[in-house]
Amino acid sequence: MKRKICIVVHSRANYGRVKTVMRAVAEHDDLELQLLVGSSALLHRYGAVIDIIRRDGFQEAAVVHSIVEGETPTTMAKSTGLAIIELSTHFDNLKPDVVLTVADRFETLATAVAASYMNIPLAHTQGGEVTGSIDESVRHAISKLAHIHFPATERAANYLLRIGEEADTVHLTGCPAIDLVAETDLTLPHDIFSRNRGVGEELNAQKDFIIVLQHPVTTEYGSGLSQIQETLEAVHPVAKEGMQVVWLWPNVDAGSDAISKGIRRFRELNETPNMHFYRNFSPEEYAKLLANARCIVGNSSSGLREGAFLGTPCVNIGTRQAGRERAANVIDVDCNAAEISNALAKQLKHGRYESSHLVGDGKAGRRIADILSKCEFRIQKKLSYISEL
Amino acid sequence: MKRKICIVVHSRANYGRVKTVMRAVAEHDDLELQLLVGSSALLHRYGAVIDIIRRDGFQEAAVVHSIVEGETPTTMAKSTGLAIIELSTHFDNLKPDVVLTVADRFETLATAVAASYMNIPLAHTQGGEVTGSIDESVRHAISKLAHIHFPATERAANYLLRIGEEADTVHLTGCPAIDLVAETDLTLPHDIFSRNRGVGEELNAQKDFIIVLQHPVTTEYGSGLSQIQETLEAVHPVAKEGMQVVWLWPNVDAGSDAISKGIRRFRELNETPNMHFYRNFSPEEYAKLLANARCIVGNSSSGLREGAFLGTPCVNIGTRQAGRERAANVIDVDCNAAEISNALAKQLKHGRYESSHLVGDGKAGRRIADILSKCEFRIQKKLSYISEL
Amino acid sequence: MKRKICIVVHSRANYGRVKTVMRAVAEHDDLELQLLVGSSALLHRYGAVIDIIRRDGFQEAAVVHSIVEGETPTTMAKSTGLAIIELSTHFDNLKPDVVLTVADRFETLATAVAASYMNIPLAHTQGGEVTGSIDESVRHAISKLAHIHFPATERAANYLLRIGEEADTVHLTGCPAIDLVAETDLTLPHDIFSRNRGVGEELNAQKDFIIVLQHPVTTEYGSGLSQIQETLEAVHPVAKEGMQVVWLWPNVDAGSDAISKGIRRFRELNETPNMHFYRNFSPEEYAKLLANARCIVGNSSSGLREGAFLGTPCVNIGTRQAGRERAANVIDVDCNAAEISNALAKQLKHGRYESSHLVGDGKAGRRIADILSKCEFRIQKKLSYISEL
Amino acid sequence: MKRKICIVVHSRANYGRVKTVMRAVAEHDDLELQLLVGSSALLHRYGAVIDIIRRDGFQEAAVVHSIVEGETPTTMAKSTGLAIIELSTHFDNLKPDVVLTVADRFETLATAVAASYMNIPLAHTQGGEVTGSIDESVRHAISKLAHIHFPATERAANYLLRIGEEADTVHLTGCPAIDLVAETDLTLPHDIFSRNRGVGEELNAQKDFIIVLQHPVTTEYGSGLSQIQETLEAVHPVAKEGMQVVWLWPNVDAGSDAISKGIRRFRELNETPNMHFYRNFSPEEYAKLLANARCIVGNSSSGLREGAFLGTPCVNIGTRQAGRERAANVIDVDCNAAEISNALAKQLKHGRYESSHLVGDGKAGRRIADILSKCEFRIQKKLSYISEL
């Protein structure tokens, strides 16, 4: 009997960070993949990641509709609640031996809560990392519910031990997102911009470009409109001077609507030459973009994680990544047009950085699958301090 | 403008552990109490605690129906999800300045998740304690979501610091449950048994009695029937020899149904002289019972918490309280009739223990209200280790 | 390819009224049974009908937990909402060709709403009947959503035509509940009372007995306690004089709690000789009881439906069955102890009535299965009056 | 004590059809308005109708988030379930004396189900009308749940009687949407196109234009993409020849996504001169547009309802309005580019029609408020046929 590993993919970010685990599980002799795709990964507004997943050859066991539309703090809570209700039904149907959940989003928490109460061993990646936003609280809460941990960095593994997780449940594997970057041919396809639809000016893969990706900070709900305004003001002049801008719409968190509105309003009031706005790229396409961008601007963790490995210059804005480990490629700035502008100029001048293996060496997926195939689980958790007594 | 403190009471155990906080908040010049009563506290099957709450002079702002009936792991997950959906609507209506949640149950987690995502400061009591069952995971997960902590014991406060909570958010106050015990006249009313309804033999307040209270252990779901069988086999002979037994039905956790079925089946197959089965007592009545009982048998934390203060001999069965701090009044045994029987005999012979202030000195409620009236909250959490860098 | 017929069983009443359809579908060459069991049919408090269903050889495709506990008008609404959420997930998994739903309860409405919006042809039994309570509104609402109707009586079929259902979608088949009664050996087993557990005095199958079954009337929510009081006052003296009473607990509708409380309180204050309170019987056992009872008292439709076929004297209390077709076996009374008492005396004196085929001839199950195997469905409904234009 | 009338507004169409009732209730001496705004009326994607409602001076008692995103048949069912759960909480808080719900959408059904089970008298507008799509089933189902009916036309009133509604509960008032049209100054503001944002060419209020509004037909789910394609093919040439096109995005029903995708894809592949795509207009602006448009094309009921009163030529496509009463202004066509094209040419040549009072005379709002202030409600419904017996 193969062990049934249920992996829940909820968003484009999720997918890139678990894809090599999915593949390693599907190919493993002793494991069977049960794939659930849910939440914003199903929605056209967020790029319908499910289409990419299917094109990649994965077949979902079921889809899980759980986004209560609104992108407010209240609907974020309600979406969490609905996701728990839905996921518990699917877990009942699939009867997985392990549920694996990724990182720190509200759907991740829902997955963790449903599995925990149903006595299903819970595996978790990206535990022990440090950031801002509500993700910070949620990530550690999930670690306290999880039965096995696959941290990406040494510091993260160490923090998991310090918060009381038992040593034999913490496995430093690196981040599967790095696997993907490491194994992808990073040459930029000449048609990458035309084959992905969006709105705005046509871009040219032969010419220089930067990436912008700025998500809402839920703990600063209400400031999204002014925050995105600062970034737009900093990036717009650079675009007008000829630098191409690949701008990605934000994720589904509370405040997303304000960010989108800010972008749309700016576009109505201004010409935006050299700027194009995309909903989504496949994980591999995104890796190629990151590998070839002159800089990444915003508050996405990809600038600090994949960016470190690729040596992509990064301007990291605001508190969303506060406390996160970083390599030399990052300049931190406040949410302020002048600061962003200066840092962007500095990064464009500097050019690429040396690659750092801070968040992984590219072999995480197989390591995780191997451990899942062998390890034993203790459903009853215990604070590690207790054994010191 | 008074600060609005929203307290959510979900069960009989909840109420006893937060009642003196509710009173202190209601009486505080700078605070306003917003009371939500939900979950099993509304249900006749669990003693309709809401009736007691109203008799005590508290008026709820709203009731929150969120129990998906079934008492299985799946319905426990679904009840958590539904509670999040419901509570977020109530928080939207009430717009509290702080939400206070008690201990480690699924409704507690739901409260914590809803408040967290809605950027409402979350206060938590009983953090840092250690037990078995799913409560162990959930309690620490809630601590990672909470913005202010009111631990009951020094060790608990210390553990909260060790899991990375920032020092200025951890306030050692003792447990409000001890306040109630300390301030109640503990004389046993002669009519305590007749004024509370239940099934079984009539009991006499003038004569000796023991208390039995055994909840399901959710992480051992499926073993409830045999577990309660062991306890029944150990207690029954003692009852037959004349010791009165005050038996309380279990709480609403997964497996509750099996425990209840075990008790009902035993009653059908056996005469149960001197045994009476109750749904509920008021917190004060329960304190009186505990103060006058010859022993408490089972796996309720009250044997280890209030029991420590009162010096009540306690036979603690199985893993549900594993790792919990305890005073001299406790004998731990496995879920095994012979062991339970021996320990019970030992405790009956020993008699009462000295009072221990391990979990509180009786002044927690006012301390908590005072701190809530003054403290400042940081919505953005941060692992304390970070400042060490 | 067999047509997949999804039948949803939600309660003990449901099961008896659809069992012969389930069997006929399961045995039909062109049909496949997809069984969902949910709601109170899963709950111990309501007799765990699922155990009987499994003992009868049916295997459910999934269980559906959807009862929000509380038995208030609010929780009845919430249970309907949750059932829609849950059932839509199961319909998505099972992809049935037809969904069949029974009668007029909130879970029935939930089934109808989920199937309708999902463009799954909806079959409905017991449409066109007339009663009181919210069931009256809900039954006709479901008929307006249903694509094919299997009414039990000629009047019901006629009413379906009058409310605008198209003639070719209305099939007069009789009620499957009558099939069961017609095919069961109605001899009363000597151990029927001892093999079913409950509370109260031991009953003797050799001696005379009456059945009492009184449900809450949701449209008169708040009157349940006084209503059950009247019935208890009328029945109690008869029991004291020696007539055995088989009393069944009420269903899960709003107000159920008040009825149960009324019964429990009465039992605490009075000796109840010759009375026994049961949660449930299997459909066949219930048929045997009805066939041998001296009278059925209360407001269950079984007195008017199965009772008509069996000629069992029936005292029908209050408005719950107002407007329902009835045979000669029924005496209607208000919710008033004196009236109930008089009518009961009259019925005991009268003895059994002639059998009436008003609600069916015993062949409904196979008829329904046959029609389901052949008929074509039009997803787009149309008021029949339109074609008259 | 004023009677509390709770009106639930879920969408832009809802609002226009109940606005004059809201005003009449708010201004009535004996009535108090309790406004709930929910569903797509909250969402930016559907024009954030709540902003218009607030600008019109109405203050909502609460917002109700209940859209499960996805626009599939499954999410439509789930949204209905979630809306019931949410609305029952709000009804519990507000304790209205009457709930009024509009027409035939899934949120309308949710409103009806919640109110019914909670024994709150339910008032319903637009009952008795006939159309295609799932709305047809749902509209009549709601009528069977409603306690008082305010039909818009004589035929509709007659149909309500025929489906068994009791005569004293059916009040022919006309449609409140006509009130709005009748009382609005229908002069087209010169800046109507610039003050409302959207995408596409700038339009000129001085020049001729047509309106296009095509919703998904849920009972034909899966055909949306080809259906919108036909309309685009018919309208596009007319636009290229100079006729301005005011195109509105579809509503939130299942299939909406396919319609939107069809429009977006068409825009990517074709120049669309003279075409502009809008999310929303205020009800008054929409009335002005309809009053001045050369034609309305699509399947919105507004072409047949407000269009009849205004004499606006209408090309009605497909089955969505099948069976609906219509005045002389409508030409029906299949979902076929050639047919649409011919009919559009014919209507442009014909010009405006005479006004018809088929769906109202402009005084519905006050009539409804008056009746609500005086009438008595019977919570227990009864099929009218019964009294014929």
The pLDDT of residue C59 is above 90 = yes
User: Can you give the pLDDT at residue C268?
Assistant: 83
The answer to whether B108 faces chain A, any CB pair under 8 Å, is no
Q: pLDDT, tens digit, for every residue of A54-102?
A: 999 999 999 999 999 999 999 999 999 999 999 999 999 999 999 999 9
Q: Provide the 3-class DSSP secondary structure of residue B323.
A: coil
Question: Among B44, B45, B74, whose Cβ lies nearest the Cβ of C65?
Answer: B74
For residue C45, which residues of chain B lie inside 8 Å, CB to CB? 45, 69
- Position A198 scores a pLDDT of 84
Binned at pLDDT 50, 70 and 90, residue A45 comes out as: confident
Judged by a CB distance cut-off of 8 A, whether residue A90 touches chain C is: yes
Cβ atoms within 10 Å of B97's Cβ, excluding its own = 18
Q: B388: pLDDT confidence band, cut at 50, 70 and 90?
A: low
The model carries a pTM of: 0.96
- Domain D199-350 classification at class level: alpha beta
Report the pLDDT value the prediction gives residue D277, as an integer from 0 to 100.
Answer: 95
Helix (H) or strand (E) holding D230: helix D224-240
Compute the distance between CA of residue D377 and CA of residue C306 in angstroms, rounded to an integer. 34
pLDDT (tens digit, 9 = 90+) per residue, B287-337? 999 999 999 999 999 999 999 999 999 999 999 999 999 999 999 999 999
Tens-place pLDDT, residues C251-299: 988 999 899 999 988 998 899 999 999 988 999 999 999 999 999 999 9
Q: What angle do CA C320, C321, C327 make, to 5 degrees?
A: 160
With cut-offs at 50, 70 and 90, classify the pLDDT of residue B348. very high
**Is D261 at the interface with chain A, CB within 8 A?**
yes
**Do D197 and A268 lie within an 8 Å CB cutoff?**
yes
Does the beta-carbon distance from B86 to D82 stay under 8 Å? no
For residues B305 and D314, give the distance between their C-alpha atoms in angstroms, rounded to a whole number.
76
In this predicted model, what pLDDT tens digit does every residue of B133-147 receive, in sequence order? 999 999 999 999 999
Facing residue for B84 by CB, picked from A80, A163, A382: A80
Mean pLDDT computed over A295-308: 97
- The reply to whether domains C3-175+360-388 and C199-350 share a CATH topology is yes
Residue B389, pLDDT score: 57
Give the pLDDT mean for B46-62. 95
The distance of D43 to chain B (nearest Cα, Å) reads 18
% of chain B residues with pLDDT over 70: 99
Residue B153: pLDDT above 80?
yes
- What is the model's pLDDT at position B94? 97
Q: What are phi and psi of B294, to 5 degrees?
A: -75, -25
Residue C389 clears pLDDT 60, i.e. is over it = no
Nearest to B86 among D62, D63, D89 (CB): D89
Q: Is C61 at the interface with chain A, CB within 8 A?
A: no
pLDDT of residue C388: 67
Query: How sure is the predictor about A275, in pLDDT bands with cuts at 50, 70 and 90?
Result: very high
Enter the ipTM: 0.96
Would you place residue A379 in the very low, low, confident or very high pLDDT band (cuts 50, 70, 90)? very high
Q: CB atoms < 10 A from the CB of D109, how many?
A: 28
Residue A317 has pLDDT above 60, yes or no: yes
**How far does A84 lie from chain B, in Å, by closest CA?**
5
Q: Is A74's Cβ below 8 Å from some Cβ in D?
A: yes
Instruction: Report pLDDT for C197.
Output: 80
pLDDT of A190 over the 60 cut: yes
Instruction: Note the pLDDT tens digit of each residue in C1-33.
Output: 899 999 999 998 899 999 999 999 999 999 999
pLDDT > 90? residue C156: yes
**Which tokens is B96 given?**
């509290």
Nearest CA to B199 out of B136, B159, B249, B149 is that of B249
Q: Where are the domains of chain A?
A: 3-175+360-388, 199-350
Minimal C-alpha gap between D37 and chain C (Å):
19
HEC per residue, chain C: CCEEEEEEECCHHHHHCCHHHHHHHHHCCCEEEEEEEEHHHHCHHHCCHHHHHHHCCCCCCEEECCCECCCCHHHHHHHHHHHHHHHHHHHHHHCCCEEEEECCCHHHHHHHHHHHHCCCCEEEECCCCCCCHHHHHHHHHHHHHCCEEECCCHHHHHHHHHCCCCHHHECCCCCHHHHHHHHCCCCCCCCHHHHCCEEECCCCCCCCEEEEECCCCHHHCCCHHHHHHHHHHHHHHHHHCCCEEEEECCCCCCCHHHHHHHHHHHHHHCCCCCEEEECCCCHHHHHHHHHHCCCEEECCHHHCCHHHHHCCCEEEECCCCCCCCCCCCEEEECCCHHHHHHHHHHHHHHCCCCCCCCCCCCCHHHHHHHHHHHCCCCCCCCCCHHHHC
Using CB atoms, list chains with 3+ pairs below 8 Å to chain C.
Answer: A, B, D
In chain C, whose CA is at the least distance from the CA of A93?
A: C62
Supply the pLDDT for residue B373: 98
Q: At what angle do helices B19-27 and B176-183 cross, to 10 degrees?
A: 90
Per the prediction, chain C carries an average pLDDT of 96
Q: Which pLDDT belongs to residue A389? A: 56
Cβ neighbours of D378 (radius 10 Å): 13
Predicted confidence at residue D388, as pLDDT, reads 67
Q: Count of alpha carbons within 13 Å of A19, Cβ hemisphere only?
A: 26
Closest to C53 (Cα-Cα) out of C90, C96, C22, C31:
C22
List the subunits that have 3+ CB pairs under 8 angstroms with D. Answer: A, B, C
**Cβ separation of D85 and B90 shorter than 8 Å?**
no
Residue-averaged pLDDT of chain B: 96
- Assign a CATH topology to domain B3-175+360-388: Rossmann fold (3.40.50)
Q: Encode pLDDT of C27-56 as tens digits.
A: 999 999 999 999 999 998 888 999 999 999
Which of C76, C87, C109, C117 should be substituted to probe chain D, the one whose Cβ sees the most D Cβ atoms within 10 Å?
Answer: C117
Averaged over B116-132, what is the pLDDT?
97
Q: Which residues of chain D have pLDDT under 70?
A: 388-389
Whether A268 and chain D come into contact, CB under 8 Å, resolves to yes
